[in-house]
Amino acid sequence: MIDRDNSRMMLNQIATSILIGGMALLITGVQPILFGAMVNEKRMTLDVMGLVIMAEIVALGVGAGLAVKLPLERFRRIVLAAGGLVVVGNVLTVLPLSLVLLFLVRSFTGLAEGVLVWSTACIIVRTTFPERNSGIFSIMQVLIQAVFASVLTSLIMPGYSWRGGFLLLAAAVLVCSALGAVLPKRLGPVAEAPPGPFAWDVARFLPLMIAFFQQAGFGAAWAYFEPLGQDAGMSSLQADALISTVLCVEVVGGLAGTLMSRRLAPAAGVLLAAALTAVSAIGMGMVSRGSIVAFSAFAMVFGFFWPFVMPYEFGLALKSDPSGKIATLLPAAQVLGVAFGPLVAALTIDGGHVRTAATVCLVLTACSAAACVVSMCGLVWKPLHRSVDRSS
C-alpha cells in the first residue's frame, strides 16, 4: 500500500517507519487487556490501573511533542535508542515492582514510545504524498492492534497472563526496532520548507487545536463504548462483539480516507468527519433502550470516521506549515486529545448517566469543527494564506 511515487530508496524506510510507529502506539490498544489482567490478579486496583493507563498515554503524547527538539542529524540512533528503552520498559513491567515504580516505568516507557511516533511523522512529512501515507499509518495502527489483541487473548493470556503479554510486546518492539537500522542516519529539512526561521502564529497553532479536540471527542465516546452499548440494551457479549465490528469498520474508514485524500481538501475532510461524528454522537446518546440495531449503526459511523479523518488533519498541518514542524507535532496533539476526552467524560458523568460521554464527544467535536471553520476564514488573519501559497 506504500506509494509507488515515493523514491525507490525510501520505500523500505517508509514501510519500516510506519511499522515502528504502529508498534509504538500498540500499547494504547492493548492496555485494557494487559492491565485488566493485572487487576484481576490483584496486582493493582481499578483506580490505580486508570492512573497508570492515563500516565502512559499522556507521556506518549508529551514524548512525541518534546522529540521535535531532538537533533535530526542523529535520527537513526535516536530511533534505535528509543526502541531499546521501550523494550526495557516492557520487560521491567513484569518484575515485582512497587506501584510507584510501576507508574514511573510505564511513564518513561510512554515517553520513549512518543519518540518513536515522532520518528514516523518525520519520515511521513518527507514523502511524496504525506497525507496518503498518514492514512496508511492510521490503518496500520488499527490492524496491528487488532492482530496483537487477538494473539494475546487467544494464545498468550490463557497460559502466561499479563506477564507473557508484556514480554511478547517487548519482543515485537525489539524486532521492529532492529528493522530501524534501514532508516536514514540523518534527516535534512523538508524540500518545501520556506526560507527563514520558524515562527508560531495562530494559523500554525490551529491544526494542532483541531486535531486535539477531534481526537478528544473520539476518545471520550470510545472509552465508554461498552457501557453506552449496554445502556442501549446490549448484553456484555453483544457490546464486545460490536467493538470488534467497529474495529473492522475503522480499517475501512482509514482506507476510504486514504484513497480520497488527494481528491478531498483537508478542511473539507475534517468538516465532513466532524459533521458525521456529531450525528453518530447524537444518535448514540439519544437511542431508546432496546434499539440495538440503531445504536450499532451509529457506532459504525463513529468508527468509520475516526481513522478517516487522519490524513486530513495531517493535510491541514502541512498547509499551515510546509516545513513539516507542525505535522511532526500532530501525533502529540492527537494522543493528548485521546487522553483528554475520557478525562473530561469522567469528570462530567454523574452516577450511571453514561450517555453523557456521547454529549462530551459532541461538544468536543463541535469545538474542532469551529476551529476548522476559523482556520478557513481569511478575514481573520493572512498567515495561513501565505503558507498555503508557498506550498502550492
Domain boundaries, given as residue ranges, for the chain: 8-182, 202-391
* Cα gap 382→378, rounded to integer Å: 6
Q: Given this model, what pLDDT does residue 198 score?
A: 61
Contact of 203 with 318, CB cutoff 8 Å: no
Q: Of 56, 1, 8, give the one whose Cα is nearest residue 29.
A: 56
Q: How many residues does the chain have?
A: 392
Q: Of 63, 62, 53, 50, give the one whose Cα is nearest residue 27.
A: 53
Determine how many CB atoms are found less than 10 A away from the CB of residue 60: 30
196: alpha, beta or left? (left if phi > 0; alpha if psi -120 to 50) = left
**369 exposed, middle or buried (CB, 10 Å; 0-12, 13-18, 19+)?**
buried
Q: Given this model, what pLDDT does residue 384 score?
A: 42
Q: What is the DSSP string of 67-84?
A: GGGS-GGGHHHHHHHHHH
Residue listed under C-alpha cell 431508546: 288
Q: Please list, in sequence order, all residues whose beta carbon lies within 8 angstroms of the beta carbon of residue 182, skipping any fewer than 6 positions away.
A: 12, 13, 16
* Cα gap 149→169, rounded to integer Å: 11
Cell of 131: 497525507
Residue type for position 149: A
Same fold, 8-182 and 202-391: yes
Residue listed under C-alpha cell 472509552: 223
pLDDT in tens, the chain (392 residues): 444 444 444 788 999 999 999 999 998 888 878 888 888 888 888 778 878 888 999 999 999 999 989 999 999 999 999 999 999 999 999 998 999 999 999 999 999 999 999 999 999 988 888 888 888 998 998 889 888 888 888 888 888 889 999 999 999 999 998 998 999 998 887 766 555 566 667 778 899 999 999 999 998 888 888 888 888 888 877 887 888 788 889 999 999 999 998 889 999 999 999 999 999 999 999 988 888 999 999 999 999 999 999 999 988 988 888 878 888 899 889 989 988 988 888 888 876 688 898 999 999 999 999 999 988 875 344 444 444 444 44
Give the three-state DSSP class for 7.
coil
* Cα gap 224→218, rounded to integer Å: 10
At residue 128, φ and ψ (nearest 5 deg) are -65, -40
Overall pTM surpassing 0.85 (yes/no):
no
> Looking at domain 202-391, which of 1.20.1250.20, 1.10.10.60, 3.40.50.150, 3.40.50.12240 is its CATH number?
1.20.1250.20
Angle between helix axes 325-348 and 356-376 (nearest 10 degrees) is 150
In this structure, what DSSP letter does residue 186 have?
Answer: S
Q: Of 149, 172, 194, give the one whose Cα is nearest residue 34.
A: 149
Class level of CATH domain 8-182: mainly alpha
Cell of 189: 529539512
Contact of 83 with 180, CB cutoff 8 Å: yes
Q: Of 215, 232, 221, give the one whose Cα is nearest residue 333.
A: 215
Contact of 361 with 368, CB cutoff 8 Å: no
161: alpha, beta or left? (left if phi > 0; alpha if psi -120 to 50) = left
Kindly provide the b/e burial profile for residues 178-216, where b requires at least 16 CB atoms within 10 angstroms of the residue's own CB.
Answer: ebbeebbeebeebeebeeeeeeeeebbbbbbbbbbbbbb
